[in-house]
Structure formats: C-alpha cells, structure tokens
Structure 1
Amino acid sequence: MANDVAGACLVKKYLGVLLVIKVVIGSPVKQKAAILEQFLQSMDNLDCEGLSIEYILVDDNEIASSLLCDFAAKHANTVIVKGENPIEYRCDEKTHCWQEALIWKVAAYKDRIIEYALQTEADYLFLVDSDLYLHPQTVKQLIGLKKDIVSEVYWTSWLMDKSPLPQVWVGDQYRLFPIERGEQYSEAEQAKKSQEFINMLKIPGVYKVGGLGACTLISRHALEKGVSFREIYNLGLIGEDRHFCIRAAALGLELFADTRYPPFHIYRESELAALAEYKSRLTRNTEHPKLTVGLLVRNESGRYLERVLQHITEYADEVVILDDGSTDDTVAICREQLVNIAHRIVENGASKFGNEVELRKMLWELAVSTQPDWIMILDADERFEQKAAEPIRELIKDDTFDVVYFRLYDMWSESSYREDGYWLAHKVYRPFLVRYCSNFVYEWLEQPLHCGRFPMNIVKLPGKQSELRVQHFGWARPEDRVAKYFRYKELDPIAKYGVQEQYLSILAPKPNVIQWRDEE
C-alpha cells in the first residue's frame, strides 16, 4: 500500500489518547554470515516510521555472531538471547535437512519470542526467518491489513531445478488445493487445482489460507488467545509451523496470506547473485520506476511514427521496436528518433501480421527483456494527448495498482474523432500500461486477429482508470480506411474475430464526427 494508506493504521486509541503502535520483530538465527548480512541489511531498510520497534534475536550459532552484535549496537532496542544445546543443521545447494529435535528447539525459541512480545505489551509480533531479504514496506503493509495472523508470501525452489512454490498452503502437511472432507481427486485434478492456487497467489492481494510461516505478523489479540509453536502431541504433521496453524484455527483465528511485497528467500548461497537484481529493482521502484514502451511497426514512413516517437521519449526510459517486415525506411526513422534514449529494434524478415498473437507475444517478451517496472504498448499511429508525460511518470510511482486503463479515440481526421454505431471506443477504458510482475503467469488470447495488445488475464490485477486520452490516427486518412477495410476482408472474411457490421461501416459516407479538444 502507499505510505499514506498504511500510515492511517500506525496509531491506536486508549481512553481517547492516540498511541504509537508497538511492534516486536523476532527471529531465531542460525545462519551463514553472507546470508545473515543480507537479512540484517533488509531489517535496517524497513520503513518503520511512526512505529515503535523492538527486536529480539535468538543467536543459535555455536560462536556468538558478530553481525548480530553489530546490529544491536545500531539499534539500542535490541535483545540478543543466546541459544542452547547446539544441534547440527545441514543445508547445502540441494536442500535443507531438519531433524525432529531441531524443529522443536526452534519452536521453543519462537515461543520464547512470543512470551517477550506479551511481556513488553507489543501490539504486534513480526516473526521472520533470517534467510529472507524483506521489502521495505513489509511491516507497514501487514499492519495495514488489520488481520490477526498474516504472512507475506515468498517463493522458493525447495529442490534444485524445480518450480518455485509458496511458503503458504491450503491444508494438511502441504496441500495446495482445496478439497471437501470425503471428496477425492485424481492426480491430474490435484495438479490442476494446485496450479490454480499458485496462480491466484501470483496476483497481488490478500487470501485466506490454511497454513503459513516464516514471515508472519501476529496481533496482540492472537498472542493473548494462546497461539504457540509447541508440539500438539497427537498431531502427526511435521514442522512447528503446522502445529502453530492448527492451534490458531482451533482458537478461532483465521490465517491470511498477502502477496503485495514478496521478500526474497536466500535458500542457497548461490542465490545471492539473483538477490542483487531484486535489490536493484527495490531501489529503482522507489526512486525512478523504469517504463519501457513497446511499438509494433510496419511501413510507417510518411505517416505518424515521427511524432509518436517524439512524444514517447518525453516519458519513457527505454523503447523497444518490433518491425514486422517493413519495406520502406521505417527502421531508419526509429533509429533517428530514438538516438538519445535507450532502445532496441528487432526486425522480422517477413510480415507475421496474419497471426497477430505471435507478434504481440514477441513484442511483450522484447519489452520484458529490458527488465522494466512498467510496460506500455502502443501502435505506431497511437499517441497520448500532449500533456500526458508528467502524469504518466506520476502514475507509475503509485504502488496501489498494477494496470492503468485509458480511453482510445478513433481519429477520423487530424482534428476530429468518430462517434456513432460501432465507433464508441472512447466510451470504454482499456489497458495501455501494466506493471511487470515476474511471478505472475501471463496468459494470451490465442487467436490470429484482435487478440489484444496485452495478456488477457491482466484484468485480474488491481487497476486504475486514468482520464488521460489516447488518439488513434489509424483511421484519420481516407486511404488508410480503404486499406484497413480490404485488410479485414482478407484476414477475417466471415468476421470470426471481429464484427461484420463494423467492418462494413468503415467506409460509411457520412459518419458522425466530433471536434477534438485538447482539454476536456
């Protein structure tokens, strides 16, 4: 959430007096120095403005950690507790090995942290594993949700070369699909429903789950009700988090997972290299979100390409061009207009317009390859209204939505747009700007025409309507209208992908047109 939204939740009332919310951040620590250093760095970077923070760290290393001591020296409100009875904990590049005795030792450490939070009258306890690199907004985001128990979701390849999975689940040991008691699913059905759950978590939001851990905010209400990590003696599930979750549910507490600010899990030392890119994105998101604009072009010479590119360079950080087999100097125009901005141009030897979805996917992947925060997709005859540059830059600084919708005006001349019958595009808001989320599974409408410029399932992401307008000049000249009419007749003769009546209306002799005004 934006800071002003979260900030509204950083105070509480007692007898009419506003008090600052107190949060205890706790972690049992037995960690390699290179990973622990990154965890502590992310703790330093947490946005805790307006909160009262205390730390309790259980040092379970055989030799006291100098890194924890250095952290305590910087944060006077830090308690370091010495661990007891060292037990071997083996972790390597393949996986982590947990013995039963080690599991319940860690459970005892976590319960000791819970006792500290209760004794110090904390409003919240944030329990976090020491191999995570946290997003700066994690604590404020979780507090702002006003849930008794909620975890921020992260993703891990638990085994090498396997797809990343979340640290939250639906039920039992690690079941990722819902099922009614007594119901049975085949392996194929289980896999399908598990993938649906995984895909859901990749959409930013808050979801009720059956199990969670490792990055969890617990309210004082939940602490006072008696949540605990101690073993439930007649429960065979492995892992202290399972016992915590079962006990919480038995106490009438619901469990939630948030997917807005996923931390980076440093499960292996080899993943420190990938962490560098994650950290780079955090810095870039805060200071200057990167906007990549993608254009699909073909034989644009003498049309609108120059002025479209000139305007784009006012707000884009990088431009990607997919040229679909131009036979004129379109590519040369692009190079000339983009000389002062980062850009990439890919040329198709022959046109692929007969299968539009293939082109749209190519342009999308080209934009993704630039490692953007946001992607805008335009055609070579589309341009935002002149005042758009500054508002667009402001839009992409807002982290409360992931898709921005705009109105598209079909220009029937340089100074007027069409409004009648099937020509009401400007009455509808459509996506032109999408935040790129690497964990989201993008799905395309697999058809050769009118497939959409973006993956079709972006509509599931949080969106915002903008009053900025887009001018579409593709219909502005009579010769272009004639060319498009015959193109649709050729590519879609029975209107399988479009509307036959709209195709026929392209050449209407007296369409209704309205004067374009720069300010509405």
Structure 2
Amino acid sequence: MVNVISMMLVKNEADRWLHEALRQARFLSDHVVVLDDASTDTTREIAYQYADEVLESAVSMFARDERFQRQRLWDTATRMARRGDWILGFDADELLPEDHVERLRLILTTKFLPGVDSMSFRLCDMWSDTHYRDDKFWTAHHRQWVRAVRFDPTAPNRWRDATHHCGSFPLGSEGVVGFTDLTIKHMGWSREQDRKAKFDRYMEADPDGALGWLEQYHSILDPEPHLVAL
C-alpha cells in the first residue's frame, strides 16, 4: 500500500488561505506535517487542527535560510516514508480547484504511474479568486512545477543554493517527472494588500534588482494587468 505524506512550511498565514490549504492536504494525505516558522499570529494553532505533526521554530528563517527549514521539514516527512510513498509539498497559499483535488486523490490512491518518480502541475499566479495574470512578467502557468515526489531513500538530498525560494524538494529527488493537466492556484498575489506588501518587501530587499527582476517588481502594481479567467 502506498501512503501519501503532505508537508507544508508556514508563517503568519492565519488570515489568508491556511484553513483551505490544510483541509486539502488532510483530504489528500495519510499524514500531514507542518513547520511553523515562528509565526506571531494564530497560524500554529490552526496547524494543530489539521496536522498530525507540527514542528515549531523559535526563530524565523524567512529570507535568511529557508534551506534549513525545508531540510528539517523534509527529514521529518521522509522519516516515516517508505520507498515509493508520495510526498506532497504545497505552500500555504497554493490551492487546487475542488475538482482537481478529487482527481489528484484518485491518481495518488489508485494509479500506479509506472516509470514516474514525481508529478508536476500547472501553476497560475492568481490576481483575484477567479483570474490569473498573463503577460511577459508573469509566465509561471506556461511551465510545470513539481509538487509531488515518490520517496527514494537513495536519491540526492541537496538543496538549491538560495536563502529564499529554494524549492519544495531536494535537487534530484524528482527523478522522472510525470506531467499532469492539474492546476495550482497560487493565491499569494490575489489580494491587493498582499501585492502592495510584497512590492514594498522586494524593493526594500533588492532595490536595484540585483537578485531578481526589477521590471517585474514594478509590474506588481500595474493598474490594468492582463488577466485570464481560470
């Protein structure tokens, strides 16, 4: 029997999509592991409502050493995994459409998917509950993003060399990627106040665009972005 283990790194998510993200993880998984990155709101208490195991960090590593937290989360999730078990790694602002949740559960529980070591998904940067951003600055939906891997204890356990956005899984753990037609709704951009806060944070951390893309930073505040209905 193949088990499904979900892992999620969270920080100050209480007034966002945490309930829904954890509800989906709970439905999809046999075991849910959450690492709270020193939240100052009620995120930790919400996590305990859904997760089988909640790891607590006394000091936040956000934008300092995300690899440390991701490694800790991965080590905890894989400690209970057997070869071939599915490990899911969705963020707290990533939701599947309801019909896609049902379809993913069917894949995880009834299909063997021979020769496939991981599954990738289309990811849409949502600018509202129903529409995603589509222009030269926002192209995530044109690529596939791995959010599920079959556990292989012999696979590499090395993380991308980045203090932030280092990925959900160790480099090399994906193996042979199986592409799906399932969609992730990345809700982190969907509220105006969140977009403004992210713009301010990026400009403070990287005012010259040396670490990212300055034009994209400024595009966050476009008054009339090109949006497509999901």
8 Å contact kept, 2:156–2:170 = no
Report the CA distance between 1:405 and its aligned residue. 0.8
Does the C-alpha gap of structure 1 residues 368 and 491 become closer, same or farther in structure 2, counting only changes over 3 Å? Answer: farther
Does 1:474 pair with 2:179? no
Partner residue of 2:105? 393
What do the CA deviations read for 1:94-115 (whole angstroms, capped 9, x no partner)? Answer: xxxxxxxxxxxxxxxxxxxxxx
Rounded Cα–Cα distance in structure 1 between residues aligned with 2:3 and 2:226? 40
Does 1:383 pair with 2:92? no
Partner residue of 2:72? 362
Counterpart code for 1:451:
C
8 Å contact kept, 1:315–1:393 = yes
Q: Out of 132, 138, 153, which is 1:417 matched to?
A: 132
Partner residue of 2:60? 351
Rounded Cα–Cα distance in structure 2 between residues aligned with 1:371 and 1:496? 40
SS at match of 2:7: strand
Rounded Cα–Cα distance in structure 2 between residues aligned with 1:378 and 1:417? 18
Rounded Cα–Cα distance in structure 1 between residues aligned with 2:125 and 2:37? 23
Report the CA distance between 1:309 and its aligned residue. 1.4
Does the C-alpha gap of structure 1 residues 505 and 332 become closer, same or farther in structure 2, counting only changes over 3 Å? Answer: same
Rounded Cα–Cα distance in structure 2 between residues aligned with 1:504 and 1:387? 35
Report the CA distance between 1:445 and its aligned residue. 1.0
Partner residue of 1:371? 81
Report the CA distance between 1:392 and its aligned residue. 2.1
Partner residue of 1:191? none
SS at match of 1:456: coil
8 Å contact kept, 1:412–1:418 = yes
Counterparts of residues 27-176 of structure 1 (less than 5 Å)? none
Q: What 5-or-longer segments of structure 1 have no aligned partner?
A: 1-283
Does the C-alpha gap of structure 1 residues 414 and 389 become closer, same or farther in structure 2, counting only changes over 3 Å? Answer: closer
8 Å contact kept, 1:450–1:497 = no
8 Å contact kept, 1:294–1:378 = yes
8 Å contact kept, 2:156–2:171 = no
Report the CA distance between 1:362 and its aligned residue. 2.1
Partner residue of 1:268? none
Report the CA distance between 1:496 and its aligned residue. 4.1
Rounded Cα–Cα distance in structure 2 between residues aligned with 1:494 and 1:395? 44
Report the CA distance between 1:312 and its aligned residue. 1.9
Does 1:306 pair with 2:3? no
Counterpart code for 1:387:
D
Counterpart code for 2:222:
A
Report the CA distance between 1:489 and its aligned residue. 2.4
Does 1:295 pair with 2:33? no
Partner residue of 1:402? 117
Q: Out of 223, 226, 230, which is 1:512 matched to?
A: 226
Counterparts of residues 304-343 of structure 1 (less than 5 Å)? 304-336=17-49, 338=50, 343=52
Counterpart code for 2:164:
L
Rounded Cα–Cα distance in structure 1 between residues aligned with 2:171 and 2:224? 35
Counterpart code for 1:347:
E
Does 1:435 pair with 2:141? no
8 Å contact kept, 1:449–1:497 = no
Counterpart code for 2:69:
L
Report the CA distance between 1:457 and its aligned residue. 2.3
Q: CA RMSD in A?
A: 1.7
Report the CA distance between 1:369 and its aligned residue. 2.1
Rounded Cα–Cα distance in structure 2 between residues aligned with 1:500 and 1:456? 27
Rounded Cα–Cα distance in structure 2 between residues aligned with 1:454 and 1:493? 29
Does the C-alpha gap of structure 1 residues 496 and 364 become closer, same or farther in structure 2, counting only changes over 3 Å? Answer: farther
Partner residue of 1:47? none
Counterpart code for 2:101:
A
SS at match of 2:185: strand
The percent of aligned pairs where both chains have the same amino acid is: 36
SS at match of 1:457: coil
What do the CA deviations read for 1:331-368 (whole angstroms, capped 9, x no partner)? Answer: 111222x1xxx611011112101222222222222221
Report the CA distance between 1:479 and its aligned residue. 0.7
Q: How many residues align?
A: 224
8 Å contact kept, 2:38–2:56 = yes
Counterpart code for 1:377:
G
SS at match of 1:438: coil
8 Å contact kept, 2:12–2:40 = yes
Q: Out of 197, 205, 208, which is 1:491 matched to?
A: 205
TM-score (structure 1 length as normaliser):
0.41
Rounded Cα–Cα distance in structure 2 between residues aligned with 1:493 and 1:357? 24
Report the CA distance between 1:500 and its aligned residue. 2.0
What do the CA deviations read for 1:36-89 (whole angstroms, capped 9, x no partner)? Answer: xxxxxxxxxxxxxxxxxxxxxxxxxxxxxxxxxxxxxxxxxxxxxxxxxxxxxx
Counterpart code for 2:137:
Y
Report the CA distance between 1:490 and its aligned residue. 3.2
